[in-house]
Amino acid sequence: MTPPSPAALQARFAAVRRATERLTATLSAEDQVVQSMPEASPTKWHLAHTTWFYEAFILAPHRGGYRVFHQDFGYLFNSYYEAAGPRHPRPRRGMLTRPSLAEIHGYRRYVDEHLAVLVAEADEATWQTVAPLIELGLHHEQQHQELILTDILHAFAQNPLAPAAFPLVEAPPIVAPCDLGWYGFDGGLRRIGYDGGGFAYDNEGPAHLVHIEPFRLASRLITCGEFLAFIVDGGYREPRLWLADGWAAVEAQGWEAPLYWRRRQGEWWQMTLAGMLPLDRQAPVCHVGYYEADAFARWAGRRLPLEAEWEVAARTVACQGNFADAGVYRPLAAPTTGLSQMYGDAWEWTASAYLAYPGYRPPAGAIGEYNGKFMCNQFVLRGGSCATAADHIRPTYRNFFYPAQRWQFSGIRLAEDA
């Protein structure tokens, strides 16, 4: 892959970095220090960790004479790279009231400046090495932009005051609700996975052949109104609708609705990044885990799509949708009756376990830990969400979460055998 020009990449670097900071502009220093559960991280930590990524994997090895900003930041802001040394235990990231947010911003500027100089001065050979790492760092930072949003939503949802992280952006008016339609696809041997032509994570390849059966895919995401029907029908109380592990989670966690739904005086509300809002029945349901998506599909007499099916279908539509760039930060009702919402709005749980594609080899070194070591116990989600940067997503993109996890913008699209 030919790397982009230094100027182009530097421009994109600046844009991504600014976007991250813009995302945190309405949050106080107090907001940015808190960790609401071990899986979530403080905003401040995300700001530092994405910065450390450039420092540890680009500046330190590839910029002669570079001095790290602070000797302890490698320990504090390494996430999970065993090859990069020991690190602060994940569940204790919320203990870091120091360094202050202001110091973290200083860290960002320091690394930005040094990276700009490295880009400007890199000779051809260095550029061949460094440009792909910067590219990776930018996609890495975009992933953390999404996590900043999902993590602060989780934190604010723990607060009885239900604060809004962002001002409310009204949804565009809906002419009429879109009925659920079905799109058929042929079976046969299909090639899926990343095949060159732009950035992709290692786990999206190698491209390879998969035999699929004929199938149909729902035209849009399942709405809150449809999911409410599942609840009203006793969906959360009937073990026969659930996987055994799913039912165990329902009982252990006391689940009765998606993560951020709240019932008050008989009315349903949903906690969002704009605070507590009345439930929008036309909007896609999100913050459901795989267990709920699977149970809903069983109740509906359908199933979840395989990731190969999803990818085959997704290649037939443009990669457009309700992304973080719109600043709405919640899923919106489907605008058309066509095959819609394949990208954006809510990640779509697939029925595929997150495993290596045939022939997959992680890259050498610490970067090899980026994706490969998580290929166990998780399910693949596809298509991005209202919290994903528009230029971060693509048809081959494989996101992955544990089946009980619900704090991402994760929703449901149904499939069925043709």
Could you tell me which stretch among 12-20, 87-95, 315-323, 334-342 binds a second copy (CB under 8 A)?
Answer: 87-95
Could you tell me which stretch among 45-53, 89-97, 112-120, 134-142 binds a second copy (CB under 8 A)?
Answer: 89-97
Considering the rule CB under 8 A, would residue 351 count as an interface residue with a second copy?
Answer: yes
How many residues make contact with a second copy (CB under 8 A)? 65
Q: Which of 246, 305, 344, 411 binds a second copy (CB under 8 A)?
A: 246
Query: What is the SS3 assignment for 162?
Result: coil
Considering the rule CB under 8 A, would residue 94 count as an interface residue with a second copy?
Answer: yes
Binning the chain into helix, strand and coil, the percentages to the nearest 5 are: 40, 15, 45
Residue keyed to tokens 């860290």: 107
CB of 88 to a second copy, least distance (A): 6
Considering the rule CB under 8 A, would residue 252 count as an interface residue with a second copy?
Answer: no
Backbone phi, psi, residue 380, to 5°: -85, 135
Q: Which of 75, 110, 199, 236 binds a second copy (CB under 8 A)?
A: 75
Considering the rule CB under 8 A, would residue 307 count as an interface residue with a second copy?
Answer: no
Helices 43-54 + 6-23 axis angle, to 10: 170
Considering the rule CB under 8 A, would residue 240 count as an interface residue with a second copy?
Answer: yes
DSSP tag of 243 = -
Backbone phi, psi, residue 317, to 5°: -125, 165
CB 295 within 8 A of CB 222: no
Considering the rule CB under 8 A, would residue 96 count as an interface residue with a second copy?
Answer: yes
- Going by C-alpha positions, the residue among 93, 102, 81, 86 that lies closest to residue 37 is 93
Q: State the Cα–Cα distance between residues 331 and 26, nearest whole angstrom.
A: 21
Q: Which of 160, 173, 196, 278 binds a second copy (CB under 8 A)?
A: 160
Considering the rule CB under 8 A, would residue 189 count as an interface residue with a second copy?
Answer: yes
Considering the rule CB under 8 A, would residue 364 count as an interface residue with a second copy?
Answer: no
Cis bond upstream, residue 89 (ω within 30): no
Contacts of a second copy in 119-158 (CB under 8 A) = 155-156, 158
CB of 388 to a second copy, least distance (A): 23
Considering the rule CB under 8 A, would residue 231 count as an interface residue with a second copy?
Answer: no
Considering the rule CB under 8 A, would residue 78 count as an interface residue with a second copy?
Answer: no
Residues across the chain: 418
CB of 276 to a second copy, least distance (A): 13
CB 359 within 8 A of CB 384: no
CB 416 within 8 A of CB 303: yes
Considering the rule CB under 8 A, would residue 239 count as an interface residue with a second copy?
Answer: yes
Considering the rule CB under 8 A, would residue 369 count as an interface residue with a second copy?
Answer: yes
CB of 285 to a second copy, least distance (A): 20
CB of 232 to a second copy, least distance (A): 21
* Closer Cβ to a second copy, 81 or 323, answer by number: 81
The structure tokens listed for 145 are 């932009």
Considering the rule CB under 8 A, would residue 21 count as an interface residue with a second copy?
Answer: no
Cis bond upstream, residue 206 (ω within 30): yes
Considering the rule CB under 8 A, would residue 243 count as an interface residue with a second copy?
Answer: yes
Q: Please name the residue ranges forming H helices in 93-213.
A: 101-121, 124-157
Q: State the Cα–Cα distance between residues 222 and 334, nearest whole angstrom.
A: 10
* Closer Cβ to a second copy, 255 or 290, answer by number: 290
